Structure 1
Amino acid sequence: MHRTSRRLLGGLLALGVTVGAGACGSDSAGTEPAASGGWSFTDDLGTTVQLDEAPTRIAGLNDLAASLWNYGIEPVATFGQTSAEDDVAFEGRDLSDVAIVGSAYGEIDLEALAAADPDLIVTTIYPDDSSGEIPADKAGYGFNDMTQQEQVAEIAPIVTIAYRGSAADVIERVVDLAGALGVDTEGGDVAEARADFEAASEKLTEAAAGGVSVLPVFATEADGWWMAKAADDPQLKLYQDLGVNFVDPGGEDYFWHSVGWEEVPNHPSDVLLYSLRFSMSPEEIAAQPTAALLPAVQAGQLHPWKYIGPDYVAQAAYMAELAGYLTEAQQVTG
């Protein structure tokens, strides 16, 4: 996949490894008391960040910052492949006190980030392939390259959460991080959110029992038709584990199988999920002659595929939406 396409895919796949300033290596992941009685957290790369006191001013990638905000931690600054103002993950949030220091992949205003005075910067990272291994020479998600990442790390240490396997596991790591940042993760709002998540999981399983097939896509007129592989996307894998019948698009590449517009009719499904990040709208998809031949398009069964962060609140909300789509859908493929 060329670099331009990777940026356009809106946070669904990224490569890299993070090494933050003020950090030292470790073989385990979790929260540990710092030797001096300060704050310590070991991230998913085995990097331990140690501070004299618990960080309170958190900045970072939209995806993870939004999830922490759902647990009550409002960020001081965000960056990402879009502006937080245009990101569905921040829908309904008052962003007036949040510095938006990046609104395109790899473009971070370092001066603005430094002015926000963060104590800690958070981001995610994706593996190279289905093995789940993360190479040691790749920048974390949201950073243009290791040079930029090192510049960011001079502003504040970086904590990285790996987005691999099932989102169910990633959610727990974000809970660990929230707990380390002072959130009560056993009671209160988090306990309620966990219960809502479990209820939404059951609802999605019930809706998926109808067996309708689902295909998530990213589509642009120039780059063609990109079909996601549920087993490689943690969010989709969570839904697949709950019973959603995702179409296997084939192909040997990791995460995506892309085809030209002439091949689109060869990949039918009952329901089509279209990416909300940079992808064509349902009307634009239906206007493409070959896409118009798809059973899901002809039946009007196109619904948004929201890239939602790894937390109980966001996932419960989208799973409830997805359950509704599946419940209403008809089987229209042969």
Structure 2
Amino acid sequence: MAVLALAAGCSTTSGDEPQSTESWNYTTAFGNTVTADSPPDTIVVDAYSAAALWDYGIRPDGVFGFGLADGSALGTAEADRMTVIGTDSVFDTEAAAALDPDVIIGYSKKTAPQSWTWWDAAQAEQIAAVAPFLGVDVSLSIDESLDQYRSIAEALGADVDSPEIAADREDFEAAKQRVKDAVSAEPGLTVMPLNVDTDGIYIGTENLVVLKLLRELGLTLAGPEADGPWSTVSWENVPQYPADIVLEYPASKPILADSVIYRSLPAVAAGQVLDWDDKRPNTYAEYADWLRQLAESIESANKLT
């Protein structure tokens, strides 16, 4: 693992410095503590964690998981500078062991914080023999998730107060404020977060953390109420939920292009459509960029509902 000194524009690896004899520990957002005999030198991460840590100058040794094959999870991280341990749900334990990692980092959940979300108990136990697992809590708010990765990066030796990170953080806060100001200038604006595949039509709810953020910034979400992250609807019922702006899942585009009902939605007919994804890389820069696009869409939108 290399940790770049961002402000100085140089890089060092722990291999260039005398190895610490001190043990290392980190308490995750779940409350469990991950320990190692010394500060991690070699790390393996899932693709979303690679994106988050890359912006802090951390260069993981291995990478795996969803969003790696198509690059959608990577942000600015470069897959060809890491050893690919597996894509999607595949994790090659032997390939990971060959790297001899000190810690493995990835998305997890409260019920099994010492396992990647997509491992079963037997696989998690097998991988634990390779290296301890540091779980990332994805149920947190966007701000809390960004803080969580900031904390992990600091524990791995990164300078989390570099000028570059400070600028990205300021851009993120400014983008949030711009959305809030745009909504205040056009109160009652409604957005429909749409996701469609061959199995069904789904409207996102505020149980998705990115949509919870939009609610906090003042936007109204169109769609039926649901206990989970998605409401399932039929094409015939979609027009029952009028929206001023449609948020369109990029992977849905081919199906949406063939839907007469979709093309007839007032927001779509007016061109008031913006891409969105509930699994965006957790970096200040990624969210700042998307929130700026959202603010621009709100500022230029005509009220249709």
TM-score, normalisation: structure 2: 0.83
Change (3 A) 1:140 1:94: closer
Q: How far did 1:124 drift?
A: 1.9
Secondary structure, counterpart of 1:258 in structure 2: strand
Detail structure 1 runs of 4+ shifted over 6 Å in the superposition.
none
Partner of 1:256: 230
Q: Contact 1:67–1:314 at 8 Å: present in 2 too?
A: no
Report sequence identity in percent. Answer: 30
Structure 1, residues 227-273: CA drift from partner, whole Å, max 9, x if none? 1112x1222222321223322x2243311111122322222211111
Query: For residues 157-306 of structure 1, what are the structure 2 equivalents within 5 Å?
Result: 157-209=132-184, 210-211=186-187, 212-220=189-197, 222-230=198-206, 232-247=207-222, 249-276=223-250, 279-281=251-253, 284-306=255-277
Amino acid corresponding to residue 287 of structure 2 in structure 1: Q
Alignment match of 1:87 (pick from 65, 71, 93): 71
CA RMSD of aligned residues (A): 2.3
Q: Contact 1:78–1:100 at 8 Å: present in 2 too?
A: yes
Partner of 1:31: none
Partner of 2:126: 151
Unaligned runs of 5+ in 1: 1-35, 127-133
Secondary structure, counterpart of 1:208 in structure 2: helix
TM-score, normalisation: structure 1: 0.76
Q: Contact 2:175–2:292 at 8 Å: present in 1 too?
A: yes
Secondary structure, counterpart of 1:185 in structure 2: coil
Q: How far did 1:329 drift?
A: 2.1
Q: Establish whether residue 96 from structure 1 lines up as the match of residue 80 from structure 2.
A: yes
Distance 2:162 2:54 in 1: 17
Distance 2:35 2:296 in 1: 44
Distance 2:268 2:82 in 1: 39
Change (3 A) 1:45 1:91: closer
Distance 2:212 2:73 in 1: 20
Q: How far did 1:139 drift?
A: 5.2
State the aligned residue count: 282
Structure with larger Rg: 2
Amino acid corresponding to residue 49 of structure 1 in structure 2: V
Unaligned runs of 5+ in 2: 1-20
Structure 1, residues 183-215: CA drift from partner, whole Å, max 9, x if none? 122343222222222222222222232243112
Distance 1:319 1:251 in 2: 24
Change (3 A) 1:137 1:227: same
